[in-house]
């Protein structure tokens, strides 16, 4: 019978091949960090669409070495996300050894540990969790990674330290100024923007919303922005409001998001280059750093 370590390594290889993962060390981190350790004792509630939550038949770790979300707080639809989804987000950040990464919505710390493996002992991971009991669990779980620390609080309002990369691990409606301010030159942000009802079988899970992942990178005082993937997931507590959700839903309904090239923070009138024009930011079809006009 194949052992759990071999199953973990095989699953990591499947993810690497399916997602064409590019980040050095990500495959090895997925193959070595024990996901089950961060989930608490089994059996576990795994989340699939359209079934919803179903219990694993036992507490064998191989039950969660699959591409499924696992319930952390099922009443609020808070999960340890699907490995293919979160690994894809991490891969888009181009994390390097020595980087300082902020992880917003860390849950119980599994993907924070993956990030800690990528940055290595010369780097740092600052993980944020708004729910106190989950923050306490992640603090305990990450004790073995001395270069990772957990902050219990609302990362949409807290001042973040200067970082090389930020992973937002749930659906927001808009980029927060403190996230953008924290990015060092060349810093990257992976931001799921969700504001429309999920389609198909996922539509019956009312808290889950669909949208697109926005990758933002800082170039001097400007921000390059590209939509990279479609996504559907639970909302980020503190990272949403109804006004921005309406604007985002309207923009997603018009399509054309593939033409977005920059995130603008300067004041300007709504114009033909604006894909989503909000009071404090704009997702624009103009290249970053372009000045003049709208």
Question: How many C-beta neighbours within 10 Å does residue 267 have?
Answer: 8
Judged against a pLDDT cut of 60, whether residue 107 lies above it is answered with: yes
pLDDT band with cut points at 50, 70 and 90 for residue 152: very high
Q: What is the mean pLDDT of residues 104-115?
A: 98
Mean pLDDT score, 272-289: 95
Residue 291: predicted pLDDT: 57
Confidence of residue 237 (pLDDT cuts 50, 70, 90): confident
Would you state the pLDDT for residue 289?
81
- CA gap 191, 170 in Å, rounded: 8
* Distance from C-alpha of 164 to C-alpha of 166, rounded to nearest angstrom: 7
Q: Alpha-carbon distance 175 to 263, whole Å? A: 9
Would the pTM of this model clear 0.85, i.e. be above it? Answer: yes
- Mean pLDDT along residues 258-287: 96
Alpha-carbon gap, residue 284 to 132, rounded angstroms? 37
What confidence score (pLDDT) does residue 292 get? 56
Lowest mean pLDDT among 124-138, 154-168, 188-202: 188-202
- pLDDT single digits (tens) 55-76: 999 999 999 999 999 999 988 8
Lowest mean pLDDT among 88-92, 203-207, 233-237: 203-207
Q: pLDDT, tens digit, for every residue of 43-59?
A: 999 998 888 899 999 99
Ranking 117-121, 187-191, 285-289 by mean pLDDT, the lowest is 285-289
Going by pLDDT thresholds of 50, 70 and 90, the confidence category of residue 108 is very high
Q: Which helix (H) or strand (E) holds 252?
A: helix 242-254
């Amino acid at each position: 019978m194949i052992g759990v370590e071999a199953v973990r390594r095989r699953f990591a290889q499947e993810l690497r091949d399916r997602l064409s993962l590019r980040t050095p060390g990500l495959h090895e981190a997925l193959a070595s960090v024990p996901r089950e350790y961060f989930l608490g004792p089994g059996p576990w509630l795994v989340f699939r669409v359209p079934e919803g939550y179903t219990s694993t038949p036992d507490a064998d770790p191989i039950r969660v070495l699959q591409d499924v979300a696992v319930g952390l707080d099922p009443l609020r639809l808070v999960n340890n996300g699907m490995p293919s989804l979160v690994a894809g987000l991490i891969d888009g950040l181009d994390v390097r050894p020595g980087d300082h990464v902020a992880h917003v919505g860390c849950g119980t710390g599994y993907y924070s540990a993956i990030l800690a493996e990528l940055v290595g002992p010369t780097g740092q991971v600052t993980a944020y969790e708004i729910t106190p009991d989950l923050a306490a669990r992640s603090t305990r779980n990450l004790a073995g990674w001395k270069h990772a620390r957990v902050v219990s609080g609302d990362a949409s309002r807290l001042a973040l330290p200067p970082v090389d990369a930020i992973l937002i691990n749930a659906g927001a409606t808009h980029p927060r100024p403190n996230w953008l301010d924290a990015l060092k030159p060349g810093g990257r942000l992976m931001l799921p923007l969700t504001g429309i009802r999920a389609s198909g079988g996922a539509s019956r899970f009312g808290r889950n919303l669909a949208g697109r992942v926005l990758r933002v990178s800082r170039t001097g005082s400007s921000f390059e922005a590209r939509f990279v993937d479609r996504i559907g997931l639970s909302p980020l507590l503190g990272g949403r409001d109804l006004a921005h959700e309406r604007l985002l839903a309207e923009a997603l309904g018009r399509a054309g998001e593939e033409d977005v090239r920059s995130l603008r923070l300067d004041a300007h009138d709504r114009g033909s280059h604006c894909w989503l024009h909000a009071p404090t930011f704009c997702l624009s079809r103009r290249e970053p750093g372009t000045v003049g006009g709208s």
